[in-house]
Structures are given as structure tokens and as C-alpha cells.
Amino acid sequence: MMKGHRLFIFILAVGVFGILNTEMGVIGLLPYVSAYFGVSISEAGALVSLFALIVAVSGPVMPLLMSRFERKKAMLFVLAVFIAGNVISAVTDSFAILLAARVIPAFFHPVYCALAFSAAAEAVPQEYAPDAVGKVMVGVAAGMVLGVPVSNFLADAVSLQAAFAFFTAVTAAAFFATLFCIPSMPAGPKRTYGEQIGILRRPAVWMSIFAIVFMNGALFGVFTYLAEYLGVVTALSGGAVSLFLFVYGLSNSAGSFLSGRLIRWNEGLTVQAFPWVLLALYALVWLGGAMAAVMAVLVVAWGFIGGVNASTQQYILTQAAPEAKEFASGIFLTSANAGTMAASALCGWCIAQWGTAAVLLGGAAFAAVSVVFLRLRSLAFHRSGKEETIAQVS
């Protein structure tokens, strides 16, 4: 990968980190928000849940609506909206205004991520596109890994406003790096909204969507309750749980970084192996979850698998609709969020019925269903290829 490409992709990763840092970092601030604004912790939780809901709903819509705009200007606009939202969050004394400052940027979250993924893929030769997207995905992992502990530390050691200032600084750094270091990026080929929505007529696209719902759910349904699992089943202290989660995040970043190379090495195996590898991991966790040393090793593997999985999901959907990458990336974000919400509900039900260890059953069920949809996706691609060949001959 050329030096210029590396800088370009690094800036995109920083931008994605800024967006995800704003989204996820608030999780570490909820107790401080509750105390500062005089609201209950459940009311403060709306800053997270409402943000996620809006991202899920706007995922396919906003990238489609903004697909005709020059990409650099669109990305600068989104970053500016996030900067403004973070500045308002840092200075307001009204919880209603704070909530609005979170809600409005959430609508544009899918736009930046979709543009970043597609721009990274198009900046390099086609065979290196999964590598480039995987490196941008590191920004997603970093946002999840660093956002919560850093914001929590700043709020505790300095103030709640200092944490929001941190969000602002990261996003502003991405804004100015984009402004001065990234050249103009024309919009993709002029396609009507109808042509882009037309990708939804393809069976391979729908099989990819359902595969992503169940792949992401298989991973994040269990991850949602990982801290509880480590505390209850593995019997770790609070500090040890935090350390394990941090290690998970670092391993997740490594998986994202290397995911493109794995896809280039063997695309079919990387895609098809995920649910089987995750099922094997859950079996090992089921058998050794009470032993801290065993879980330390499994958490590293778990994080790495998760990092590879995120890039793989984005890849399989854009591969099914290469001519509408931004729209496909938006659908990917919605599908992933839908899978997380559905699987979290199922895993929570399993815990309520059979105890904390049963969370693995919900994840395993989603992984098993994803096997079916990945197979149907392969068959849809095979059939599509045959139809194209027949059409060319005739």
C-alpha cells in the first residue's frame, strides 16, 4: 500500500474513531450525567439507546440521500455536526438540550462510516480493498476500547465537561486532517435512488443482510453480558473484569487490522468459518468459563474473532452490491445493530431462565442460524453467476 494511501486510510480511521468515540464513550459517563443533570440512570441511558436506535433506522436512508454529494464535503459536514454536538454537550446545563445534541448527530453517523468504508476500498487496488476497510475498522474497535475508559477517567478525575471536550478534540482533529490532507473526492457514479434501492431485488443481498443480522448477534448478544459473565461465572474482581474487557478490545483491534489479509488469503474460508469458530469458542467458554487462566486466553481469541467478523460482514454486503457501496454500507450498519438488539434480548432471556452461563446458548443459536444464511448466500451467488452467463451467451 502506497504511503499516500496509508495516510488517507489513517485519517479515515481517526474520523471513524471520533464518531464511535462520541457514540460509545457516553456509556462511561452515565452515572456522571445522572448526577450532574439530576435525572435517573435509566433516563441518562437514553443518550445511548436513542442514539443506537437512530443509527439503526437511518442506516440505509441517510447514506442513500447523501450519495450524490462530493464525498469530502459530506464527510466534513458530518464531522462538523459531531463537533457542534459535543461542544453543546460540554456547555449545556439542560438534559433536554444534551439529548438533542446527541440525537441530531446520530442521524449522520451512518453517512460518515459508509463514506469512509467505500472511500478506503476505492483508494487502493481492488485486491487490497478488504485490507483498507479492515484498517478503517480499527477506528471502530478503538472507539469501543478507548471511548468508555478514557471518558470515565476524565469525568472522574476532572469533570463531565472535560470528557465531552475530549470527544470534541478527537473529532476536530479528524475534521482538520480531512480538510488539509485529503483531496477532493467526487461522488460515486451517478446512479438514481431507484437504481441503488434496486439492489434489494437481489437474493444474494438479502441473504447477506440476514447473515449479518445473525453473525453480529451471535457475537454481540453474548458480549453485551460479558462483564456480568466474567464477574459471576469466572468470579473476577471489578478491576480484573475491566482488564479483561480492555484486552478484548486490543485483540479486537488486531483482528480488524488483519481481517483484510485473511479475506485476501482465502475469502470463502474467512467468511464461512466464522460461525463454526465462534461455536467452538463458546463450547470452550462453557467448559472452562470458571477458570480465570482459561478465560484470559479465550477472551484474546474472542476479541480477535470479533475484529475479523466486523470487516467480514461489511465485505460480504458490499460484495453483493459493488455499484452501491455507500447504500450497502448503510444497510450493513442497520443489519448489525438489529442483530445486536435482537440477540441481546434473547441472551437476556436465557440468563433470566437458566442463569448467567446460559447467555452462551443465545449466542450459539444465532451462530447456528448464520450458518444457514451464509450457505444460502453462497447458493444465491452461484445461481446469479449462472444466470449472468446464460444472459451473456443469449
- Give the mean pLDDT of 265-273: 86
- Identify the band that residue 393 occupies on the pLDDT scale cut at 50, 70 and 90: very low
CB 260 within 8 A of CB 133: yes
Superfamily of domain 3-188: MFS general substrate transporter like domains (1.20.1250.20)
Q: How far apart, in Å, are the Cα atoms of 179 and each of 9, 12, 284?
A: 14, 12, 48
Task: Say whether pLDDT at 385 is over 80.
Answer: no
Given this model, what pLDDT does residue 210 score?
95
Given this model, what pLDDT does residue 104 score?
93
Task: Say whether pLDDT at 394 is over 60.
Answer: no
CB 151 within 8 A of CB 26: yes
- Give the mean pLDDT of 164-171: 93
CATH 1.20.1250.20, the chain: domain bounds:
3-188, 198-393
- Distance CA(18)–CA(10), nearest Å, equals 12
Task: Say whether pLDDT at 315 is over 50.
Answer: yes
- Identify the band that residue 361 occupies on the pLDDT scale cut at 50, 70 and 90: very high
The 10 Å CB-count burial string (b at 16+, else e) for 91-100 is: ebeebeebbe
Q: For the ranges 58-67, 73-82, 121-130, 139-148, which has the lowest average pLDDT?
A: 139-148
Task: Say whether pLDDT at 380 is over 50.
Answer: yes
Given this model, what pLDDT does residue 191 score?
63
Q: Which residue has the higher pLDDT, 36 or 227?
A: 36
Q: For the ranges 36-50, 105-119, 188-202, 379-393, which has the lowest average pLDDT?
A: 379-393
Task: Say whether pLDDT at 138 is over 60.
Answer: yes
Q: Rounded to two decimals, what is the model's pTM?
A: 0.79
CB 107 within 8 A of CB 281: no
- Give the mean pLDDT of 179-205: 77
Task: Say whether pLDDT at 100 is over 70.
Answer: yes
Superfamily of domain 198-393: MFS general substrate transporter like domains (1.20.1250.20)
- Give the mean pLDDT of 9-30: 83
Rounded to the nearest integer, the mean pLDDT of the chain is 84
Reduced to 3 states, what is the DSSP secondary structure of residue 192? coil
The number of angstroms, rounded, from the C-alpha of 236 to the middle of its chain's C-alpha atoms is 27
pLDDT tens track for 289-306: 999 999 999 999 999 998
